[in-house]
Structure 1
Amino acid sequence: MTTWWKSGSPWVWLNAGAVSISIIMVFGLLLLILVRGFGNFWPHQIVETTYENPVTGEQVEVIGERRRSETLTGQALREAGIPIPDDQVLVTRHLFKLGNRDLTGQDFAYFIDDFMGEWRYPRDITVLERREWGDFLGTPVRLIEDGQVVAEGEALWPEFQKRLARSNRLFDEIRQIEREEIGNINFRLERVRLDQRRAELRGTLTPELEQEFVSRRAALNEEYAVLQERLRNLSAENRRDAIVMRAPNGEEPTIRLEQIVKAWQPNNMSIPAKVAFYIDDFIGFIVGYPREANTEGGIFPAIFGTVVMVLVMSILVTPFGVLAAIYLREYAKQGALLKTIRISVYNLAGVPSIVFGVFGLGFFIYLTGGAIDRTFYPEALPAPTFGTPGLFWASLTLALLTLPVVIVSTEEGLARIPASLREGSLALGATKGETLWQVVVPLATPAMMTGLILAIARAAGEVAPLMLVGVVKLAPTLPIDGNFPFLHLERKIMHLGFHIYDVGFQSPNAEAAEQLVYATALILVLLIVVLNLTAITVRNHLREKYRAEGD
């Protein structure tokens, strides 16, 4: 045993065990996210049953989707005032998603199994995903158009599906006009106002120029009036159809089709139909826009904002990190000062990320951004242009956060280049600069890409500093559109990491947000994997390229 301990084998096994446990925990977490995240899109069956309130004795009809079940002690429920028999040790209760929040005031409720009736699965129970107030669960009664009944009974569902598809096409056209065409006109109207204000500040506003501004504004207002009339017509056309639904409490509310995103009857769906619905719902989650305080709808703005921010960050951090590493390794004189700089770079990598956020808010936004506004955008003041959190400052803050990683990786790559290559290049008559940029740097490119991969992995998952320098709960527009300069660095963005935090911890409806948190976390993990795999592919290509050239 003594010989075994002295051989170091116990520490090898201990290390192997620790690594194994870590791998199991990581894969277990990923599996949990995968199951909970992907399970969010499957059309689960809807239960219809009765429930006798154990306190009041009132019996009510329940229609809902069972989310989960849990077992409690009978003593705990008795202490809560629920009349559970004294000899009953364990009690099962079920969490149901009821929907119909506008009627009952709650989306979810617990029901004790002992007081529930038989569970039934009627085929005609319908789920309506609404743009507001969450899902509605009930039975279709009749379809109406301008107050007149157009379909009932067996003819209702096919006609409803056809009219719902038409309503969604009209809604998409309305949103396209509001977001793009009217948004474009508003952008150009603002440019006219700023151009006129700029001319006033410079003292170059002549009567002819002022008349030109008036003409431009009038032309844009005419375009705006045409679009407004078109919107009114489309909205009126989209408001004509509605469906009457029967709720579990007996009410029969009328729901306009313009309020419905999609409808399905999960108890009446075959497995292929459920798979098709699952795929469509997942795609809608990826490309859709959020609704209901981010607890419903899609996450496309958050995905787009995350990708754009990481790309801008990569463009900013790569040249600065590479040039700093080249100077430190190839040009700087070795000594105490250089050692101090290197220690500072290493220490910078350990600074909490929120500190970078505070620095970015104070230095980049208030100081630098304020100076840019006073110098280049005085006509927009007091409304800030760059003196407010935005995409550029978020990317620059993350670039500063990940700069030490790129510097260290690039330095290590440069240090691994054999001195014989440098000496051979110099012996053939190349200058030091030519040797550096044509021999050393290309061979160190894979190491630079390694630093960039680590930077992307860290930047994509950061949340704390972004809350201060440009990421918001809900951004009104994307940072890219058809208006010059096309990429608007001053605009605020959404981010997947902040979206997870907001939905998970700031949502007023925690139960509804639970599965959405897992789904968004899954997308964030997949996005980071895709970004890293892309960078790894580029690195491997460069490595093989320069290895082949060296051979």
Structure 2
Amino acid sequence: GRSDDGLRVRETTVLADGPEATLALLRELHPEAVKRRQRIESLKKRDIGWVNTRLERARLALRQAELAHAEGRLDDDGLAQARDRFAQRKETLDEEYDAILQEIHRIEREDDRFRIEVVDPASGRFAPAAQTQPDEPLRLSQIVRAVQSNALDWRGRLGVYLDRWWEFLTADPREANTEGGVFPVIFGTVMLTLLLAVIVAPLGVVAALYLREYARQGLLISTVRIAINNLAGVPSIVYGVFGLGFFCYTVGGWIDAGPANPWPIGLWALGVGGLVATTVGAVLLGLTAKPRPGAEPTLRTRTLGLVAGALWLATAALVVALVAYMPFFHGFFRARLPSPTFGAKGLLWSSLTLALLTLPVVVV
């Protein structure tokens, strides 16, 4: 409680004193304390997280209705109904959120009742509950495990050793990443490696086989080989900057919000016509450039082959431009902006960046 002058007053009842009595009582009370801690963590992560998820969905639905109203696809009555639905949903979720908070506070008050003083024999000071609370003893639920090291036989020591390794490999970090486990890091590394292997292995092996076994050796293939060898020696920081700029900000931003400066519909239709023309021209010239069976390539067939290759490059460039500046696409996650979804750092973009870093090495 608190007195009138603001000073904190606590009623303390010592339940056990001395090493043996404290350890015995700790073994009795600690399992319940651990259950309280786990219950609090579950309420904060799962229950409150689920409330926040539903509230975010309701907010996104309202935001989509506002965007549709701004574009003329929803009238004023529809927007008013969307706002009413959001207000009702928010009121319901706020009540559920308050109920969860009350349950958390109730368990925390119960948890605060049980403290333990772990005293350093050299300094005489006890371990505080937090660095910002130097005068508060540890809560019983903050104790991860209590072990009498000198009283353990080799089986007990092995059990403690394996238990700590299991915690390190399977638990989440805690106390600002200074304690606990590294399971999220392990999971992210495994997923990153799997995505990297799925992308790099097929492309790298196929490219290497084509360049070595099927591609006609010449100036173009020599240039490609030189470029691949140079890419294999590029520092990884360059790939990282490229991945951040291209994948996160460019591709991710396009997925979230669509093109920043879309082409007019007439210009985009003209580009589609140009795409059809270049594709047909590249196919026809490629067929015409093939020499007769058993005949040597002539200057005419070589020229037609170069023109067909240039048309294929123009076709690829037009495809990229038509997709990048499509006037009919407004992004998949406009309602979430300005908070990016794909336009932020993530596992997918990291995998693609590492794939670009690894692909030249695989090809070589």
Shorter-chain TM band: 0.5 to 0.7
Between Structure 1 and Structure 2, which shows a larger proportion of helix residues?
Answer: 2
Q: CA–CA distance in 2 between the matches of 1:218 and 1:330? A: 67
- Counterpart of 2:105 in structure 1 is 232
- 1:164 corresponds, among 30, 43, 54, to 30
Q: CA deviation at 1:276?
A: 1.1
Deviations 1:7-50 (A, max 9, x none): xxxxxxxxxxxxxxxxxxxxxxxxxxxxxxxxxxxxxxxxxxxx
The 1:324/1:191 distance shift into structure 2, 3 A limit, reads farther
- Structure-to-structure mapping, 1:121-136, within 5 angstroms: none
Q: CA–CA distance in 2 between the matches of 1:350 and 1:317? A: 17
- Structure-to-structure mapping, 1:467-546, within 5 angstroms: none
Q: CA–CA distance in 2 between the matches of 1:323 and 1:197? A: 45
Helix, strand or coil: the match of 1:183? helix
Aligned amino acid, residue 12 of structure 2: G
Structure 1 residues 393-402 or 290-299, which shifts more?
290-299
- Counterpart of 1:398 in structure 2 is 354
Structure 1 residues 221-230 or 350-359, which shifts more?
221-230
Q: CA deviation at 1:279?
A: 0.9
Q: Does the CA contact (< 8 Å) of 1:239 and 1:258 recur in 2? A: no
Q: CA–CA distance in 2 between the matches of 1:326 and 1:181? A: 53
Deviations 1:270-315 (A, max 9, x none): 2222111111111111112223443322111111111111122223
- Counterpart of 1:317 in structure 2 is 200
Q: Which has the higher contact order (CA 8 A, sep 6+)?
A: 2
Aligned amino acid, residue 349 of structure 2: W
Deviations 1:306-350 (A, max 9, x none): 111112222333343345345545664432101211222232222
- Counterpart of 2:191 in structure 1 is 308
- Structure-to-structure mapping, 1:279-428, within 5 angstroms: 279-325=162-208, 327-328=210-211, 332-375=215-258, 376=331, 377-408=333-364
- Counterpart of 1:474 in structure 2 is none
Q: CA–CA distance in 1 between the matches of 2:66 and 2:156? A: 64
Helix, strand or coil: the match of 1:150? coil
Aligned amino acid, residue 338 of structure 1: I
The 1:314/1:217 distance shift into structure 2, 3 A limit, reads farther
Q: CA–CA distance in 1 between the matches of 2:28 and 2:217? A: 76
Q: Does the CA contact (< 8 Å) of 2:60 and 2:335 recur in 1? A: yes
- 1:216 corresponds, among 80, 85, 89, to 89
- Counterpart of 1:455 in structure 2 is none
Q: CA deviation at 1:179?
A: 1.7
Larger Rg: 2
- Counterpart of 2:115 in structure 1 is 242
Aligned length: 264
Aligned amino acid, residue 388 of structure 1: A
Q: CA–CA distance in 1 between the matches of 2:11 and 2:188? A: 42
- 2:57 corresponds, among 191, 199, 209, to 191
Q: CA–CA distance in 2 between the matches of 1:146 and 1:269? A: 37
Q: CA–CA distance in 1 between the matches of 2:105 and 2:21? A: 31
Q: CA–CA distance in 1 between the matches of 2:210 and 2:43? A: 52
Q: Does the CA contact (< 8 Å) of 1:356 and 1:401 recur in 2? A: yes
Aligned amino acid, residue 381 of structure 1: L
Q: Does the CA contact (< 8 Å) of 2:173 and 2:181 recur in 1? A: yes
Aligned amino acid, residue 352 of structure 2: L
Q: CA deviation at 1:176?
A: 1.9
1:151 aligned onto 2:16: yes
- 2:148 corresponds, among 265, 269, 284, to 265
The 1:174/1:364 distance shift into structure 2, 3 A limit, reads same
The 1:210/1:316 distance shift into structure 2, 3 A limit, reads farther
Q: CA–CA distance in 2 between the matches of 1:292 and 1:171? A: 14
Q: CA–CA distance in 2 between the matches of 1:165 and 1:273? A: 19
Helix, strand or coil: the match of 1:206? helix
Structure 1 residues 294-303 or 152-161, which shifts more?
152-161
Q: Does the CA contact (< 8 Å) of 2:30 and 2:140 recur in 1? A: yes
Q: CA–CA distance in 2 between the matches of 1:155 and 1:195? A: 59
Structure 2: give runs of 5+ residues left out of the alignment: 1-9, 128-136, 259-330
The 1:180/1:252 distance shift into structure 2, 3 A limit, reads closer
Q: CA–CA distance in 2 between the matches of 1:407 and 1:368? A: 25
- Counterpart of 1:255 in structure 2 is 138
Q: CA–CA distance in 2 between the matches of 1:165 and 1:210? A: 47
Q: CA–CA distance in 2 between the matches of 1:221 and 1:241? A: 31
**TM (normalized to structure 1)?**
0.45
The 1:252/1:297 distance shift into structure 2, 3 A limit, reads closer
The 1:244/1:343 distance shift into structure 2, 3 A limit, reads same
- Counterpart of 1:276 in structure 2 is 159
Q: Does the CA contact (< 8 Å) of 2:66 and 2:79 recur in 1? A: no
Q: Does the CA contact (< 8 Å) of 2:33 and 2:111 recur in 1? A: yes
Deviations 1:51-76 (A, max 9, x none): xxxxxxxxxxxxxxxxxxxxxxxxxx
The 1:194/1:325 distance shift into structure 2, 3 A limit, reads farther
Q: CA–CA distance in 1 between the matches of 2:13 and 2:108? A: 19
Helix, strand or coil: the match of 1:194? helix
Aligned amino acid, residue 58 of structure 2: V
Helix, strand or coil: the match of 2:340? coil
Aligned amino acid, residue 193 of structure 1: R
Helix, strand or coil: the match of 1:148? coil
Q: CA–CA distance in 1 between the matches of 2:119 and 2:37? A: 25
Structure 1: give runs of 5+ residues left out of the alignment: 1-144, 409-551
Superposed CA RMSD in Å reads 2.4
Helix, strand or coil: the match of 2:117? strand
